[in-house]
Amino acid sequence: MPAWLRLPWTTAGGRWRRWLGHGLFWVVVFVFYTGYFGRAEGALGPSLVFVSLLLPVTIGTAYFLTRVLIPRYLLRRRYGFFALYVAYTLVVSVYLELLVATGIFTTIAGFRMGSMTPAAFDILKLLAGMYLVVLLVVAADLVERWYQAQQANVRLRQARLEAELKLKEAELQLLKAQIHPHFLFNTLNNLYSLTLTRSEQAPDAVLRLADLLDYLLYQGAKPVVPLAQEVAHLASYLALERLRYADPAALRFRTEGPLEGASIAPLLLLPFVENSVKHGLSRDPAGGWVEIVLTRSGDRLTFRASNSKPAAPAPAGGEGIGLANVRRRLALLYPEAHHLTIRDEPDRFDVVLSLNLIAQPAHAVPDRR
């Protein structure tokens, strides 16, 4: 609540400030009452006595409503009891007002009726003067309670959002951690195959693996990376895979459109490429094929991974870790900015991912290195 809207009793900063605020407010009410009821014979004494007798009735009525009836009945939706006790309070306060006006002021204190203006003894004006203040206090109390409830709701929503964000960040970290061993397992298998055949390409494969690991450890920890770097990483991985097969042309990779000036979540496309190589070439090295095409058109990136399917059926097991992983990452990072299509046909398997490059990945895990 803005400072200029805060009434005295809504000011934070310690009990003594609250009491001081209350006291200042009632001093203002005292001055208001003195002017409202006035004096008929020019003497200030009778007016001060009258207001001093009336003010405790006003204070008691206001605090009884705001501190007892509203929290105990109105806020708990016990409306019948609230209405009943408000009626009782009005009756008692009217009785006390009349007692002050006709009993204490004139009889006990000994002041004459003429020492006050007619407003002091007009029941309607007397009630109007008192309940104007009471209603002001009640309204301020309700506004303050509403404001506090709104603030509590905002804090609760923020706490829930922060908790959800932390859970999603933890899940993304776990998903990335799952990519690393999966990728290393496939790559080390490639290297193992080359060393078994005493291939002259083994040293080159080791260097390429070192580059891939460097990207995996340092770039993969960032929330986003340049699209050109991610594509270069895919190209290095595919170059390493080509070393395993007699016909490198069976593994085709091309890009269309500019790669500069765009960013993407790291390691997002790698599981699709691994899956295509695994099912297209690893299970049919002689006749299999893999084709990876990445196209950028304006702010839209289209990634297509296609591979052949061998005649022998693949072992049953549903989606592998890689595809399930990337589905979840897409849902977390690009919830409204991607479209994924997977087609499993008798002789081929196609994955088409369309991604909005303008959208920054949501809940991207920051680089904490």
Residues 298-336 have pLDDT tens digits of: 889 999 999 998 876 655 555 556 677 788 888 888 888
Give the burial class of 351: count Cβ atoms within 10 A of its Cβ; 0-12 exposed, 13-18 middle, 19 or more buried.
Answer: buried
Residues of the chain with CATH 3.30.565.10: 159-356
The CA–CA distances, whole Å, from 102 to 65, 98, 309, 314, 326 equal 25, 6, 104, 101, 84
Give the pLDDT confidence score for residue 227 in this predicted structure: 93
* pTM of the entire predicted model: 0.52
User: Could you give the residue ranges of the DSSP H alpha helices within the chain?
Assistant: 15-37, 44-64, 79-98, 123-196, 202-214, 227-242, 270-277, 321-333
CA 199 to chain centre: 55
Token pair belonging to 93:
């306060």
Give the pLDDT confidence score for residue 352 in this predicted structure: 96
- Which of 3.40.50.300, 1.20.1250.20, 3.30.565.10, 3.90.1720.10 is the CATH number of 159-356? 3.30.565.10
Give the pLDDT confidence score for residue 185 in this predicted structure: 66
Give the pLDDT confidence score for residue 341 in this predicted structure: 94
Give the burial class of 160: count Cβ atoms within 10 A of its Cβ; 0-12 exposed, 13-18 middle, 19 or more buried.
Answer: exposed
DSSP letter (8 states) at residue 132: H
Give the pLDDT confidence score for residue 190 in this predicted structure: 65
> Could you list the mean pLDDT of each consecutive 10-residue stretch along the chain, which spans 369 residues?
43 66 86 74 68 84 89 87 85 79 61 58 75 89 88 82 63 53 63 66 72 78 88 89 80 93 88 87 85 94 93 58 78 88 91 82 49
Give the pLDDT confidence score for residue 30 in this predicted structure: 87
Contact at 8 Å (CB) between 270 and 183?
A: yes
